[in-house]
Amino acid sequence: VDQLPENYVLDNFRAWNDRSRRNLGVDRLDLVQLHCPPTPVYSSDEVYDALDTLVAEERVAGYGVSVETCAEALTAIARPG
Give the side-chain half-sphere CA count within 13 A for 62.
Answer: 5
Confidence of residue 78 (pLDDT cuts 50, 70, 90): confident
| Each residue's pLDDT tens digit, 8-41 | 999 999 999 999 999 999 999 999 999 989 989 9
Task: Report phi then psi at 38, rounded to 5.
Answer: -60, 150
Using alpha carbons, select from 32, 24, 29, 31 the residue that is nearest to residue 59.
29
pLDDT of the residue at 79: 81
**Average pLDDT of the chain, as a whole number:** 92
| Cβ atoms 33, 41 nearer than 8 A | no
Rounded Cα distance between 56 and 61, Å, is 9
pLDDT of the residue at 81: 65
Could you give the 3-state DSSP secondary structure of residue 29? strand
Q: Where are the domains of the chain?
A: 5-77
pLDDT of the residue at 13: 96
